[in-house]
Amino acid sequence: MRYKNVCIESLGYTLPDEVVTTAEIERRLEPLYTRLRLPEGRLELMTGIRERRFWQPGTLPSDKSIESGEKAIRAAGIDRAHIGALIHASVCRDHLEPATACRVHHALELLPECMIYDVSNACLGVLNGIVQIANMIELGQIRAGLVVGTEGSRQLVETTINALNRDTTLTRQQLKLAVASLTIGSASCGVLLTDRELSQTDNRLLVATARANTAHHRLCHSGHDEAVADGMQPLMTTDSERLMQEGIATGVDTFTAFLAECGWSPASLERTFC
């Protein structure tokens, strides 16, 4: 997917104030650590993660998506009337219905003509939203579009801690499936895209490449809890080692295809991030 008329105009983000250390989580797992004779510091040693952040209890995803979206709009300095699409693109949502984008759209005072909907695709939702907005701009359907998303990790981490301490049959091997659930954090972002005529930065989006390796879809999956927002009591199992291996392999294939599509060489890249 190549673009001639799309710019990533501005970013906005919001972070929680509450910092939760890995050491604190290990202290709460003391019954499990004692039973399995696990050394303190094991979780941080395995993952390299020292801390993560939590929203205050009762925080809705839309609360922070509104903040991040407002920051992105103000940073771009454009008239809200130009925003023709709003996508809320996180796993976390206020409710199953209506779309969380509804409340964000209302709070940001966007026009009734602005298309709104939710996209949820694990950690790729915001990137999917960016591509969808870029496609609309490239086709001339809209002048500008906003992607927002807010993830909250408190419920998953706390539910996982309680489940691990409660299950006295759990083995060290089984514990590995819960490690990823103890590492995640919370954050919110907004990404505003415009056409080149409207842009004041000319910070262009040139190419997007996508690949799906769905043979490994069972490596990470949640439980059956269908509640959302602060009412969630989710559990998730993740084969972290296999997921990392297969994710890297898929990433290599995708990056190779990306370079071929845009005509760049690895040596020409000054910055990359994953």
Q: Give me the percent of the chain exceeding a pLDDT of 90.
A: 79
Q: What are 7's two structure tokens? A: 């710019």
In a domain, 196, yes or no: yes
In the predicted model, what is the mean pLDDT of residues 217-227? 71
Q: pLDDT tens across 121-151, in order?
A: 988 999 999 999 999 999 999 999 999 999 9
Residue 217: its pLDDT value, please? Answer: 84
In the predicted model, what is the mean pLDDT of residues 233-256? 85
In a domain, 118, yes or no: yes
Separation of alpha carbons 239 and 178, rounded Å: 8
In a domain, 128, yes or no: yes
Residue 238: its pLDDT value, please? Answer: 84
Answer yes or no: is pLDDT of 163 > 60: yes
Answer yes or no: is pLDDT of 194 > 90: yes
In a domain, 1, yes or no: no
In the block, residue with structure tokens 């909907």: 117
Separation of alpha carbons 30 and 34, rounded Å: 6
Answer yes or no: is pLDDT of 226 > 60: no
Residue 106: its pLDDT value, please? Answer: 98
Q: pLDDT tens across 169-192, in order?
A: 999 988 888 999 999 999 999 999
How many C-beta atoms surround the C-beta of residue 23 within 10 A? Answer: 13
271 vs 63, residue with greater confidence: 63
The pTM for the full model equals 0.91
Answer yes or no: is pLDDT of 61 > 60: yes
Domains of the chain: total: 1
Q: What are 79's two structure tokens? A: 């008239």
Range of the domain at 168: 6-268
In the predicted model, what is the mean pLDDT of residues 10-29? 97
Q: Is 168 exposed, middle or buried (0-12, 13-18, 19+ CB in 10 A)?
A: exposed
Residue 231: its pLDDT value, please? Answer: 58
Residue 50: CATH number of its domain: 3.40.47.10
Active-site residues, by number, are: 97, 123
Answer yes or no: is pLDDT of 58 > 80: yes
Quick one: three-class SS letters along the chain?
Answer: CECCCEEEEEEEEECCCEEEEHHHHHHHCHHHHHHHCCCCCHHHHHHCCCEEEECCCCCCHHHHHHHHHHHHHHHHCCCHHHEEEEEECCCCCCCCCCCHHHHHHHHCCCCCCCEEEECCECECHHHHHHHHHHHHHHCCCCCEEEEEEEECCHHHHHHHHHHHHHCCCCCHHHHHHHHHHHCCCCEEEEEEEEECCCCCCCCECCECCCCCCHHHCCCEEECCCCCCHHHCCCCEEECHHHHHHHHHHHHHHHHHHHHHHHCCCHHHCCCCCC
Q: What are 236's two structure tokens? A: 């998730």
Separation of alpha carbons 70 and 247, rounded Å: 33
How far is CA 95 from its chain centroid? Answer: 17
Answer yes or no: is pLDDT of 216 > 90: no
Residue 223: its pLDDT value, please? Answer: 72
Answer yes or no: is pLDDT of 33 > 70: yes
In a domain, 240, yes or no: yes
93: nearest Cα among 64, 71, 70: 64
Lowest mean pLDDT among 158-162, 233-237, 240-244, 250-254: 233-237
In a domain, 43, yes or no: yes
Answer yes or no: is pLDDT of 225 > 60: no
In the predicted model, what is the mean pLDDT of residues 7-32? 97
Separation of alpha carbons 204 and 183, rounded Å: 34
How does residue 220 score in pLDDT terms, banded at 50, 70 and 90?
confident
Answer yes or no: is pLDDT of 7 > 70: yes
In a domain, 178, yes or no: yes
Answer yes or no: is pLDDT of 227 > 70: no
With contact defined as beta carbons under 8 Å apart, do 182 and 175 qualify? no
